[in-house]
Amino acid sequence: MRVLIPGIAGLLARKVAQRLLGGGHEVIGIDPRGWPGAPKEIELHAIDIRKRAAGEVFRKRRPHAVVHMATISALTADAEERYRINLGGTRAVFEYCAAHGVEQLVFVGRHTYYGAGPDAPLYHTESEPPQELGSYPELADLVAADLYAANALWRLPALQTAVLRICYTLGPSGHGTLASFLRGRFVPMVLGFDPLFQFIHEDDAADAIVAALSSKLRGIFNVAGPQPLPLGLIAREAGRRALPFPEALLAVLLGRAGLPRLSRGALAHIKYPIVVDASLFRRETGFAHRFDELVTVQTFADGFPAGGRSSPVPPLG
Partner 1 sequence: MPGDEISARVERLELPFDARGVDGYGTSRWHLGVAFRALSFLYRTYFQVRCQGLEHIPVRGRAMLVGNHSGGIALDAAMVIAACFLELDPPRLAQGMAEKFINRFPFASTWTSRCGQLTGLPEHAQRLLEDDRLLMVFPEGARGTAKLWKDRFSLVEFGTGFLRLAQKTKSPIVPFAFLGGGDAIPTVGNLYKIGKLVGVPYLPVTPWLLPLPRPAKLSIHFGEPMRFDGDGNADDESTARAVGQVKERIGQLIERGRQ
Position among 46, 79, 99, 122 found at the interface with partner 1 (CB under 8 A): 122
- Residue 244 C-beta: closest distance to partner 1, Å: 9
253 binding partner 1? (CB under 8 A): no
**Residue of 196, 242, 243, 280 that binds partner 1 (CB under 8 A):** 196
By CB under 8 A, is residue 121 in contact with partner 1? Answer: yes
Q: What gap in Å lies between CA 79 and CA 138, rounded to an integer?
A: 7
Contacts with partner 1 by CB under 8 A: the residue count is 24
Residues 8, 121: Cα–Cα separation, whole Å: 34
Choice between 87 and 170, CB closer to partner 1: 170
Shortest separation between residue 161's beta carbon and partner 1, angstroms? 26
Considering the rule CB under 8 A, would residue 190 count as an interface residue with partner 1?
yes
Could you give the CA distance from residue 110 to residue 99 in angstroms, rounded to a whole number?
A: 26
Based on the shown chain and the rule CB under 8 A, indicate whether residue 192 belongs to the binding site for partner 1: yes
Binding to partner 1 by residue 134, rule CB under 8 A? no
For every residue of the chain, which 3-state class applies, written as one string?
Answer: CEEEEECCCCHHHHHHHHHHHHCCCEEEEECCCCCCCCCCCCEEECCCCCCHHHHHHHHHHCCCEEEECCCCCCCCCCHHHHHHHHHHHHHHHHHHHHHCCCCEEEEEEEHHHHCCCCCCCCCECCCCCCCCHHHCHHHHHHHHHHHHHHHHHHHCCCCEEEEEEECEEECCCCCCHHHHHHCCCEEEEECCCCCEECEEEHHHHHHHHHHHHHCCCCEEEEECCCCCEEHHHHHHHCCCEEEEECHHHHHHHCCCCCCCCCCHHHHHHHCCCECECCHHHHHHHCCCCCCCHHHHHHHHHHHCCCCCCCCCCCCCC
CA distances from 63 to 25, 91, 103, 106, 306 (A): 11, 17, 8, 13, 43
Min dist CB 296 to partner 1, Å, is 12
Give the nearest distance from C-beta 279 to partner 1 in angstroms: 11
Of 84-92, 179-187, 224-232, 254-262, the window that binds partner 1 (rule: CB under 8 A) is 224-232
Q: Which is nearer to partner 1, 196 or 253 (CB)?
A: 196
Binding mask 7-46 for partner 1 (x = CB under 8 A): ----------------------------------------
Query: Binding partner 1 by CB under 8 A: which of 7, 228, 260, 314?
Result: 228
Site for partner 1 in 265-294 (CB under 8 A): 271-273, 292-294
Task: Compute CA 166 distance to the chain's CA centroid, rounded to the nearest angstrom.
Answer: 6
Q: Are 3 and 64 in contact (CB under 8 A)?
A: yes
Instruction: Mark the segment that binds partner 1 (CB under 8 A) among 69-77, 90-98, 139-147, 226-234.
Output: 226-234
Nearer Cβ to partner 1 (89/273): 273
- Contact between 229 and partner 1 by CB under 8 A: the answer reads yes
Among 136, 181, 193, 199, binds partner 1 (CB under 8 A): 193
| Shortest Å, Cβ 233 to partner 1 | 6
Choose which of 230, 251, 280, 306 interacts with partner 1 (CB under 8 A).
230
Contacts with partner 1, residue ranges (CB under 8 A): 118-119, 121-123, 190-194, 196, 227-230, 233, 237, 247, 271-273, 292-294
